[in-house]
């Protein structure tokens, strides 16, 4: 089990990052990042556009931002900001949730995949980003992002529950990211 947490999540990340930063022209990079941001905005807005099934599609907004961040940290931040701008026009109600949950998780997981690479670091950094975003929504903005299950009044047990949720959700996204990046890497060869 120790080996599982300390070994690199995905070795193909450096290949994808290097290829993106050396071979593509600036125009292609901008277009690709803008495309990923548009896909992320569409997925994030699905919860409001298609109630029911859309809520199942909305977490997929993490993947394009994570991929942009793996390509380069600047690309990830650009896609994150562009997604927020697109959400302002497409589904403004998602503008409070995306920057603090899905978007932050994607930046955390993508950045840690790019720079630290070990599964433990990826899961921990992603969970801290997501946890901090949810805490901001719950206790600073008083937005019930977790629904009626977690109160907006300060509660230590709620903080622990939210962190455990963030940890598990980040672990899930670390594994999804590993699978996704391996598929992309195979298609590039």
Residue 121: count of CB within 10 angstroms of its CB: 18
Structure confidence by residue, pLDDT tens digits, 38-97: 999 999 999 888 888 888 999 999 999 999 999 999 999 999 999 999 999 999 989 999
Structure confidence by residue, pLDDT tens digits, 101-145: 999 999 999 999 988 878 999 999 999 999 999 999 988 888 887
The third-level CATH classification (topology) of the domain covering 11-188 is Arp2/3 complex 21 kDa subunit ARPC3 (1.10.1760)
> Kindly report the CA angle at 183 between 189 and 180, in degrees rounded to 5?
140
Spatial separation of the C-alpha atoms in residues 75 and 9, rounded to whole Å: 21
Residue spans of the domains in the chain: they are 11-188
| Token reading at 163 | 């962190």
Spatial separation of the C-alpha atoms in residues 102 and 68, rounded to whole Å: 14
Spatial separation of the C-alpha atoms in residues 48 and 81, rounded to whole Å: 20
Q: Which residues contact 72 (CB under 8 A, 6 or more apart)?
A: 17, 20, 21, 114
This prediction has a pTM of 0.91
């Amino acid at each position: 089990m120790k080996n599982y947490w300390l070994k690199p999540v995905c070795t193909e990340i450096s290949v994808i990052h290097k290829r993106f930063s050396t071979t593509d022209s600036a125009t292609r990079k901008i277009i690709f990042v803008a495309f990923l941001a548009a896909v992320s905005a569409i997925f994030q807005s699905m919860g409001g556009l298609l109630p029911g099934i859309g809520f199942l599609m909305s977490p997929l907004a993490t993947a394009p931002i994570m991929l942009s961040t793996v390509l380069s940290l600047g690309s990830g931040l650009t896609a994150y900001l562009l997604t927020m701008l697109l959400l302002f026009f497409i589904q403004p109600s998602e503008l409070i949730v995306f920057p603090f949950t899905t978007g932050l998780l994607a930046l955390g997981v993508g950045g840690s995949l790019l720079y630290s690479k070990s599964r433990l670091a990826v899961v921990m950094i992603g969970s801290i980003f997501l946890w901090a975003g949810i805490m901001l929504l719950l206790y600073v903005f008083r937005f019930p992002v977790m629904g009626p299950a977690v109160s907006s009044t300060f509660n230590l047990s709620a903080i622990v529950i939210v962190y455990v949720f963030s940890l598990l959700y980040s672990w899930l996204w670390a594994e999804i990211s590993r699978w996704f990046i391996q598929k992309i890497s195979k298609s590039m060869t």
